[in-house]
Structure 1
Amino acid sequence: MNKVKFFSIAFLAAGVSAFAQDIESAKKAMDAEQYEKAKSILKAIVKTTPDNGRASFLLGNVYLRQSIQDSAKMVFQKGLTAKDAGSFNYIGLGQLDLDNGNAQAAQFNFDQATAGMKKKDIEQFVHIGKALTNSVNPNYKKAIEVLNKAKAINMNDAQTLLALGDAYFGERNQNEAYANYRNAYDADNTLLRAKMQLGVLLKNAKAFGEAKAALDNVLALNPNYGPVYRELAETYFGWGLNDKAKFKEYTDKSLAYYEKYMSLTDYSLPSRMRHADFLIIAKDYKALEKEANEMKKLDKVNPRILRYLGYSAYENGNTDSAIEALKEFTGNASNKLIGRDFLYLGMAQLKKSTPVVAEGAKVIVDEVLYKAAVENFAKAVSMDKPMANDLNEIGKGYFDKKLYKYAAGIYEVAITNANSKNYLYDNFFLGYALYFDNIREDVKTVNVADLQKADKAFAAVIEKSPTTQDAHIYRARVNGLLSDATAKAQMAKSYEEFMNVVTTKGADAVTANKAKFIEAYQELARYYGKTDKLKANELIAKALVLDPADADSINIKNALK
């Protein structure tokens, strides 16, 4: 009987040891972003030891990292029934609540997870801190508060310090993030992610050379640690954006590093999607289209693949395929849509609406498609204000083709973001486009509403940049096309402001704008000719000084007699 007891205890100990090893292997795979490998290990553990809730919790977290919420929820709920560490699964459910915007429900679940904690337990606090940090709706301040509870119990726990580093990183407190990452690595020098994050901090500070050196140090310790290659890829890409002379060289390096990262993970659909996201940033649309088609083989129904197919099809000149993919993707409100989805759909529709014609031939714009494109631009900007920056070049393309009405429609959307880097430029070209659209040869009656928009656009430019002389003269010209007294008064004021601005710039500026000064004197003479002939005669006399033979000036002078 003693022998039987001995062998039973030995067998049990061996089982516990094997289980612990498997859990550690799964954690290492998760850290290396080998999610399919981690899932395989954890599914096997859950199947053979269903009473261990920790494995379920980790498996659910893998699904969370892959943004597969339904599977995560199912695993967490099942894990709650486990006899050992089942309560950890409340933390996973809490993160799901946070992701769905329900902070109150999340806190309830976190409280459930900590209800039976012993005095020296810290693991629950660490995982709650991570959940608060990693949620799509993070609460970094609360995460730091919870993690400091764990630190108060064990100030040298490496996982606590790493999680604190991540929370401070999210809060953009670079000093505290750096200190905690450094301390985490000092506490456990096998924790490569902590050391890697020191390089990430340098990358974010645009200290690209120092970031590369720090990341190379991680590779020296383990050349097969996949995530560091992704960080090197993003470091080189950022470096290339800041060093235009080396943009091509560094972008090529960044793409090569990303391929290395992919080879060291598992080429799963989520890792391919992250690669695709990077290809969009790097503008490698040929590679993106190839990656999108590979993803389609893995999962024909995953909606995000439509995004990548749409983006790449547009950039590679396949407009119809882009419209088809992006209409299907954006047509489903349950998809996680972003502003750029609508921007690309709008660009594809706009391109299709304006066929390429022979030089000199009239362009016939498809009004229905054009309107749909502009509506999608408006959706893009309403969801993500910086999308307005992309409309500047699109509007300019239509302006250069003298399709002024259509350029104006695009600029009207662009100026809805007052913080856009192109705000003044967009307002100027909005006014410019509306003005030129109203002086076309075939225009019989001006569009009063459009001219009023043009006046408002030039006023916005003048408010921000009062010395922009052309904004004054074009505002004057716009109001000159209108017939009401208020507009005529603004016309006169704008001509006078134009001349004042140019005069303060010196004699050379006045000489360079001689024709515009003559125009201003003539229009002001006409304006004051009905109410103040003396002033009108003085103004036309100034015009004649600049050009004594100008026929319009002579006719105005004669009319004033």
Structure 2
Amino acid sequence: MNKFKIFSLALVATASVANAQDIKEAKKAIDAEQFQKAKSLLKSIIKAKPSDGEANFVLGNIYLNQSVIDSAKIYYLNGIEAADKKNLNYIGLGQIDLDNKNTAAAQANFGLATKDMKRKDVDEYIYIGKAYINSNNPDYNSAITSLKRALAIEPQNPTALLTIGDAYYGANNQNDAYKAYRDAFTADPTLLRAKMQLGVLLKGAKSYDEAIKAFNEVITINAGYGPVYRELAETYYKWARNKPSTAKTNLQNAITNYEKYLSLTDYSLDSKMRHADFLILVKDYKSLETVANKMIAEDKVNPRIYRYLGYSAYENGNIDVALKSLEDYVKVPNNKVIAKDYLYLGFAKIKKGTAADGTIEASAFEAGLTDIKKAVAMEPLAVEDLGDFGKELFGKKQYNQAAAIYELSTTNTEQKNYLNDNVYLGISLYYANANKPAGTADAAALTKADAAFDRVLVASPTYDEAYLYKGRINNLLEKDDLIIKNYEEYVAKTTAKGAEELAKPATVKKIVESYNSIGAAYANTDKAKAVEYFNKSLVLDPANKYAADSVKALK
């Protein structure tokens, strides 16, 4: 019997060691962003040992971070019934409370997690810190407070140092974040995420070349560490966005590194969706449509795939597929519809109603504009994506429709294209009225155009073309005083640029236009002034018939 008891105890000890190793492997897989592998390992542990509270907690965390709240909650509640480390699961429930903005309930759950801690325990403080960081409503100061409690017990705990680095980074405290990441890697040179985060700090500071060097140092240590390729991909993408001259090369580098990252993950549906999100960022819509169709073939259940298919089909000119995919997606109440969904749906409706000659059916345009307005109401910065669509309409001489798009985008002074969109709003409204018979121009629209150029001059006082357009607009409005004022301002600003500018044929043409317009404005009130300006035109362009005929008529 004694031998049997000893043998049984040995089996229990062996099983405990195996479970500990499996948990360690699962955590390694999570760090490598191989979430499917981690889930399989954790489910195996729970099946073999339902009393393992930590396995339930860690598995719940994966589901929570993937926004599968119901599954996360099931594992946390199972974990609370477990025998070992059940207290950790209160931390998971606490993060759900934080996500729901119920701070009091979260703190109560964190209290239950820590109430029976032993004097040298630190895991609970670390996990509470992570909960504050990972919440949809992060509280970095509370995270730092909790992590400092862990570090007071174990000053060189590498996980605590890494996590407090994340909290400092979230709180925009770059110096303390750098020190924490450096100390974490010193404490455990196998903790590659800490070294990688040093590169993330450089990426955030837009030191892209230095960030890439830092990430390559991680690859030198372990070329199989997947997350570093994701960071490289994002760095190349941001570099391309911030320095357009590098865009072609850097976007290709971004795609290559993201594909490498994917090859080192588990190719689960989640990782494929992350890939799809990245393809949207880098605007590789051909690849996105291929990926979306493959995902539909594998999984006809997840509705988010239809978002990807809708976006890519629109960009690739498959308007009917885009319309059906996006309409099917947004009409389901449980789908998490975002502003971009309505934006693409609006674009698709307008494109569907556009004839070969560029004219747009009025009802189709209004239906599309309604969806675009929904997008802007959901996310005001969605207007940053309107400029290119407006330019497309402008290029097809659909000036009123282009103006309607730009009128939406120029309501947001914080958006990055504010200056450019105001310019296009002004010129769209001008060209919509430029060729109308005398006296039929839309005065209200032209007043809006004039105001758009006023905003341009506030945002960019050196944009001299604004005065030229203001002169043209007031020409249509027949406001002689403002015609004179704005064209004279244009001539003065242009002349100040010097002889090189004045020698350009395009500039000469605009100055001649200015002199002729000023002359015409003076013609009814001051003939001498009028003749003076028409003669200035003739000095620059002796063959100008309008100026010559006007001088004859005024004498």
Q: TM-score, normalised by structure 2?
A: 0.88
1:199 and 2:176 matched: no
Tell me the residue number matched to 2:533: 543
Cα separation, 2, equivalents of 1:334 and 1:104: 28
* Mapping 1:494-505, distance limit 5 Å: 494-495=486-487, 497-498=489-490, 500-502=492-494, 504-505=496-497
SS of 1:91's equivalent?
Answer: helix
Cα separation, 2, equivalents of 1:212 and 1:546: 59
Do the aligned residues in 2 keep the contact of 1:79 with 1:89 (CA within 8 Å)?
yes
Tell me the residue number matched to 1:8: 8
Counterpart pick for 2:444 among 437, 449, 455: 449
Tell me the residue number matched to 1:321: 321
Compute the displacement of 1:236 (Å).
3.9
Counterpart pick for 1:408 among 398, 403, 406: 403
| Residues 255 and 472 (structure 1), Cα distance of their counterparts in 2 relative to 1, 3 Å cut | closer
1:372 and 2:367 matched: yes
Compute the displacement of 1:490 (Å).
4.7
Tell me the residue number matched to 1:118: 118
Tell me the residue number matched to 1:263: 263
Structure 1 residues 51-82: Cα deviation after superposition (integer angstroms, max 9, x where no partner): 22211111101112322122112221222222
Cα separation, 2, equivalents of 1:505 and 1:76: 70
| Residues 233 and 430 (structure 1), Cα distance of their counterparts in 2 relative to 1, 3 Å cut | closer
Compute the displacement of 1:519 (Å).
0.9
Cα separation, 1, equivalents of 2:482 and 2:264: 67
* Mapping 1:249-398, distance limit 5 Å: 249-332=249-332, 334-357=334-357, 363-398=358-393
Do the aligned residues in 1 keep the contact of 2:200 with 2:211 (CA within 8 Å)?
yes
Do the aligned residues in 2 keep the contact of 1:196 with 1:218 (CA within 8 Å)?
yes
Compare 126-135 and 330-339 and name the one that shifted more: 330-339
* Mapping 1:412-423, distance limit 5 Å: 412-423=407-418
Compute the displacement of 1:308 (Å).
0.9
Tell me the residue number matched to 1:522: 520
| Residues 541 and 346 (structure 1), Cα distance of their counterparts in 2 relative to 1, 3 Å cut | same
Compute the displacement of 1:385 (Å).
4.3
Tell me the amino acid that sits aligned with residue 189 of structure 2. Answer: N
Tell me the residue number matched to 1:154: 154
Compute the displacement of 1:272 (Å).
0.8
Structure 1 residues 209-247: Cα deviation after superposition (integer angstroms, max 9, x where no partner): 443343333333333322223223334444555676664
Tell me the amino acid that sits aligned with residue 75 of structure 1. Answer: Y
Cα separation, 1, equivalents of 2:367 and 2:402: 15
Tell me the amino acid that sits aligned with residue 530 of structure 2. Answer: I
Tell me the residue number matched to 1:429: 424
Compare 196-205 and 502-511 and name the one that shifted more: 502-511
Cα separation, 2, equivalents of 1:491 and 1:550: 20
Task: Provide structure 1 residue ranges, at least 5 long, that are not aligned to the other structure.
Answer: 358-362, 530-535
Compare 324-333 and 258-267 and name the one that shifted more: 324-333
Compare 440-449 and 34-43 and name the one that shifted more: 440-449
| Residues 538 and 463 (structure 1), Cα distance of their counterparts in 2 relative to 1, 3 Å cut | farther
Cα separation, 1, equivalents of 2:462 and 2:220: 57
Tell me the residue number matched to 2:469: 474
Do the aligned residues in 2 keep the contact of 1:521 with 1:543 (CA within 8 Å)?
yes
Compare 264-273 and 253-262 and name the one that shifted more: 253-262
Tell me the amino acid that sits aligned with residue 545 of structure 1. Answer: N
Aligned-pair identity (%): 48
SS of 2:87's equivalent?
Answer: helix
| Residues 399 and 237 (structure 1), Cα distance of their counterparts in 2 relative to 1, 3 Å cut | closer
| Residues 385 and 87 (structure 1), Cα distance of their counterparts in 2 relative to 1, 3 Å cut | same
Do the aligned residues in 1 keep the contact of 2:483 with 2:517 (CA within 8 Å)?
no
Tell me the amino acid that sits aligned with residue 402 of structure 1. Answer: K
Compute the displacement of 1:489 (Å).
5.6
Cα separation, 2, equivalents of 1:466 and 1:208: 32
Cα separation, 1, equivalents of 2:454 and 2:29: 59
Structure 1 residues 395-446: Cα deviation after superposition (integer angstroms, max 9, x where no partner): 2222232221111111111212213333223222212221221233468733
Tell me the residue number matched to 1:532: none
Cα separation, 2, equivalents of 1:198 and 1:146: 22
| Residues 59 and 13 (structure 1), Cα distance of their counterparts in 2 relative to 1, 3 Å cut | same
| Residues 265 and 400 (structure 1), Cα distance of their counterparts in 2 relative to 1, 3 Å cut | closer
Do the aligned residues in 2 keep the contact of 1:311 with 1:322 (CA within 8 Å)?
yes
Compute the displacement of 1:495 (Å).
4.7
Cα separation, 1, equivalents of 2:498 and 2:373: 43
Cα separation, 2, equivalents of 1:472 and 1:246: 34
1:35 and 2:35 matched: yes
| Residues 261 and 497 (structure 1), Cα distance of their counterparts in 2 relative to 1, 3 Å cut | closer
Compute the displacement of 1:261 (Å).
2.1
Cα separation, 1, equivalents of 2:516 and 2:437: 27
1:82 and 2:82 matched: yes
SS of 1:550's equivalent?
Answer: helix
Tell me the amino acid that sits aligned with residue 117 of structure 2. Answer: M
1:220 and 2:220 matched: yes
Cα separation, 1, equivalents of 2:248 and 2:421: 30
SS of 1:28's equivalent?
Answer: helix
| Residues 251 and 459 (structure 1), Cα distance of their counterparts in 2 relative to 1, 3 Å cut | closer
Tell me the amino acid that sits aligned with residue 446 of structure 2. Answer: L
* Mapping 1:18-167, distance limit 5 Å: 18-167=18-167
Do the aligned residues in 2 keep the contact of 1:543 with 1:553 (CA within 8 Å)?
no
Cα separation, 2, equivalents of 1:381 and 1:197: 34
Structure 1 residues 172-196: Cα deviation after superposition (integer angstroms, max 9, x where no partner): 3222222111211221222222222
Tell me the residue number matched to 2:453: 458
Cα separation, 1, equivalents of 2:374 and 2:464: 34
Do the aligned residues in 2 keep the contact of 1:381 with 1:417 (CA within 8 Å)?
no
Cα separation, 1, equivalents of 2:105 and 2:115: 15
Task: Provide structure 2 residue ranges, at least 5 long, that are not aligned to the other structure.
Answer: 539-546
Cα separation, 2, equivalents of 1:313 and 1:328: 14
Cα separation, 2, equivalents of 1:494 and 1:206: 41
| Residues 19 and 421 (structure 1), Cα distance of their counterparts in 2 relative to 1, 3 Å cut | closer
Tell me the amino acid that sits aligned with residue 305 of structure 1. Answer: I
Cα separation, 2, equivalents of 1:228 and 1:410: 40
Tell me the amino acid that sits aligned with residue 132 of structure 2. Answer: L
Tell me the amino acid that sits aligned with residue 215 of structure 1. Answer: F
Do the aligned residues in 2 keep the contact of 1:346 with 1:372 (CA within 8 Å)?
yes
Tell me the residue number matched to 1:399: 394
Cα separation, 2, equivalents of 1:504 and 1:255: 47
Cα separation, 2, equivalents of 1:11 and 1:286: 56
Do the aligned residues in 2 keep the contact of 1:495 with 1:524 (CA within 8 Å)?
no
Tell me the amino acid that sits aligned with residue 175 of structure 1. Answer: N
Cα separation, 2, equivalents of 1:27 and 1:198: 21
Tell me the amino acid that sits aligned with residue 536 of structure 2. Answer: L
